[in-house]
Structure 1
Amino acid sequence: MSTYDEADLRRAAEAGVRAPSIGNSQPWLFRLDDGAIEVRSDPSRRLYHLDRDGWAVRLACGAATFNARLALAVAGRPAEVSLRPDPHDAGLIARLTPGPARPPTYAEEELHAAVPRRYSNRGPFWPDPVPPDVRARLIAAARDESGWLDLLVGMTALTAFAEIARSADRVLRRDAAYQAEQATWTHVASAPDGIPVTAGAPLAEPQDLLPQRFFNDRRRGAGRDYEPEPLVGILGVAGDRPADQVLAGQALQRVLLTATAAGLDTSMISQPIEVPAAREQLRRSLGRYGWPQIVIRFGYGTPGHPTPRRDIAEVI
């Protein structure tokens, strides 16, 4: 029977660590166990005030699992994936076992090439619209991973979402412990984790449609308002159990890499997911079956750089 080895583990981990995580906390571990690769959560890197039930950790580890799948696939060693395979082991996020060997598909190669280029761009995007065919690819990417992506069209939908997001942001700003925890994950540019202060957006202005997290005290230049009509997508899945949240992480990463491959920039908005009342309001406003898991902003922005990652030896 085919098994994975140490080279496969390292290959999977090197791609896995490039996944996004709240605060760039990187809450994942990778292990080789009886010829299978395990993706595990690292409870020491969970933001307990922000992520009270572990949703953000599971979302991040799901995204890391998708990256690991891609790395193994392009090496001709595709994986069969079991999510949350052991109900008695909450830290075990996914177990990857070797599937039948085959050459990688063009789509797998394209998405894998986007892994090191993907990053969150929190600055304002240009007014250029995202073409309809690219929008369709983003929606299909979520669907391919058993998720859904609702792109908000028109100012009525955007304004309604923005009010929910700003309301959630106001709730979180009043939570001193939450703000202190977020501050501990804002670092200098050379740190191997956390959000570099240089990666944060300029200070929010009263006229901004969407909320921004506070990372620095930099003000934007005159006339540099955030886009008046951003492309916002709400990503969700049918359920809201821990395994569903891991599934959502995989869908999130496929969408983000699809956007990167198409030349788009992205950033995530999590405030309306973090506040239960806002999340319920958002779910009802969509009028669809399932649970929103994250909000994504798409557009064309000034080029930036991926945030740092810890050494592979720390996560294996």
Structure 2
Amino acid sequence: MPTDKPRPQTVTALVRAATAAPSLHNAQPWRFRYTRDSALFQIRAALDRCLPHSDPHGRALHMGCGAALLNLRVAAAHAGWRPVTRLLPDPHDPRLLATVRLERADGDPDLAALHPAIRRRRTSRLPFSEKRVADPVRAALREAAESEGAQLHYPSAWHVRTVLDLVHDAEGRDHADPGRAAELAEWTDPERTPDGHDFAGRMTPAERTPGESPFEQEPQLALLGTAEDRPTDWLRAGQAMERVLLVATRRGVSAGLSSAPVDWSDARWADRDPMSPMGQVHVVLRLGYGPRAPATPRRPVAQVLQVE
């Protein structure tokens, strides 16, 4: 019989789905606290997983936790629960990024339908074909971003080249900065950090210059952003990013991610298309069709979940 509280195995399954979210260098900067009596999740920042040089303001941390929040909401809707969400609910506790209270009610069917894509979603650094992503798919991805309070913009050809140049330059600056280079080495060395991200040569396809073989000659980029640039906007952008990625996965579209130019404040303004109403770009997506990318390691649920 249905109960007004989820079973322990359901709680574990929801957190396992949440932790499948992408994060900068696969740092997985989240903790989950679940209170049985109130059926309430807290999503908290894991400060021991933050990146003070690569992410000095915590933008990427908030976006990673926002992506995990979206997955939690999707999994809850799939399991027959309505997730009631609050962002940054306690101004005196900045590590508490969001709460999710589970109510026994019909979940959002659009969210629930994304559940199978959670385990299939991959961040791809592999070559894509030259096949263009169709307009109806592009529209669906834009709607996914807008449903989470963000915007998705497809830059024109001239702006694509500008963004690629910015990403390439930002990567070079990252390697030249001792603090960022050390963090990159720490979180991408599989021998030092088993759950870190191996960049397979350190430069993602989105960061390669047009025409560099074997990657596509004309990368299909999308810019995801919000009107403003506050911690709440970062959390919304993270949820929007993951919703776009899940919809893309359902449609058979692969995606790569880069936040490199956004991480340098003096270059961030140039990501924007002056013809777009988007106020702040948070991440650059590279879209296309290609082989299935390998999965990245995930921390066990027992390491990130506290039940009270």
| Structure 1: segments with no counterpart, 5+ residues | 211-222
Give the AA of the match of 1:129: R
Residues of 2 paired with 1:97 and 1:291: CA distance? 30
Residues of 2 paired with 1:264 and 1:226: CA distance? 16
2:56 maps to 1:52:
yes
Query: The residue matched to 1:274 in structure 2 has which SS?
Result: coil
Residues of 2 paired with 1:265 and 1:289: CA distance? 24
Residues of 1 paired with 2:254 and 2:117: CA distance? 12
Q: Following TM superposition, by how much is the alpha carbon of 1:203 offset from its aligned partner in structure 2, in angstroms?
A: 6.2
| Aligned position for 1:23 | 25
Cα 1:60/1:202, change in 2 over 3 Å: closer
Q: 2:140 aligns with which of 137, 149, 154?
A: 137
Residues of 2 paired with 1:104 and 1:29: CA distance? 25
2:262 maps to 1:273:
yes
TM-score in terms of structure 1 length? 0.87
- CA deviations on 1:214-238 (whole Å, 9 max, x unpaired) are xxxxxxxxx9432111110110112
- CA deviations on 1:15-50 (whole Å, 9 max, x unpaired) are 110000001111111111343111111000011110
Residues of 2 paired with 1:192 and 1:31: CA distance? 24
Q: Following TM superposition, by how much is the alpha carbon of 1:270 offset from its aligned partner in structure 2, in angstroms?
A: 1.0
Q: Following TM superposition, by how much is the alpha carbon of 1:77 offset from its aligned partner in structure 2, in angstroms?
A: 0.9
| Aligned position for 2:290 | 301
Query: 1:54-133, aligned counterparts within 5 Å?
Result: 54-99=58-103, 101-102=105-106, 105=109, 107-133=110-136
Residues of 2 paired with 1:289 and 1:73: CA distance? 30
Q: Which moved more, 1:33-42 or 1:3-12?
A: 3-12
Q: Following TM superposition, by how much is the alpha carbon of 1:71 offset from its aligned partner in structure 2, in angstroms?
A: 0.7
- CA deviations on 1:52-101 (whole Å, 9 max, x unpaired) are 01111100000000000011111111211001111111111110012451
Give the AA of the match of 1:226: F
| Aligned position for 1:200 | 200
Cα 1:6/1:192, change in 2 over 3 Å: farther
Query: 1:5-16, aligned counterparts within 5 Å?
Result: 6-16=8-18
Query: The residue matched to 1:271 in structure 2 has which SS?
Result: coil
Question: Contact 1:11 / 1:72 at 8 angstroms: preserved in 2?
Answer: no
Residues of 2 paired with 1:202 and 1:61: CA distance? 24
Residues of 2 paired with 1:176 and 1:286: CA distance? 36
Q: Following TM superposition, by how much is the alpha carbon of 1:193 offset from its aligned partner in structure 2, in angstroms?
A: 1.1
Please report the RMSD computed on the Cα atoms of aligned residues, expressed in angstroms: 2.4
Residues of 2 paired with 1:192 and 1:257: CA distance? 25
TM-score in terms of structure 2 length? 0.90
| Aligned position for 2:221 | 232
Question: Contact 2:24 / 2:64 at 8 angstroms: preserved in 1?
Answer: yes
Q: Following TM superposition, by how much is the alpha carbon of 1:6 offset from its aligned partner in structure 2, in angstroms?
A: 3.6
Query: The residue matched to 1:236 in structure 2 has which SS?
Result: strand
Give the AA of the match of 1:247: R
Query: The residue matched to 1:195 in structure 2 has which SS?
Result: coil
Q: Percent identity?
A: 34
Question: Contact 2:187 / 2:193 at 8 angstroms: preserved in 1?
Answer: no
Give the AA of the match of 1:41: A
Residues of 2 paired with 1:159 and 1:249: CA distance? 25
Q: Following TM superposition, by how much is the alpha carbon of 1:2 offset from its aligned partner in structure 2, in angstroms?
A: 4.6
2:212 maps to 1:209:
no
Q: 2:155 aligns with which of 125, 144, 152?
A: 152
Aligned length: 299
Residues of 2 paired with 1:93 and 1:62: CA distance? 8
Give the AA of the match of 1:182: L
Give the AA of the match of 1:301: G
Query: 1:32-47, aligned counterparts within 5 Å?
Result: 32-33=34-35, 34-47=38-51
Residues of 2 paired with 1:103 and 1:252: CA distance? 21
Question: Contact 2:145 / 2:240 at 8 angstroms: preserved in 1?
Answer: yes
Q: Following TM superposition, by how much is the alpha carbon of 1:308 offset from its aligned partner in structure 2, in angstroms?
A: 1.1
Residues of 2 paired with 1:148 and 1:183: CA distance? 32
Cα 1:88/1:182, change in 2 over 3 Å: same
Question: Contact 1:3 / 1:97 at 8 angstroms: preserved in 2?
Answer: no
Give the AA of the match of 2:66: G
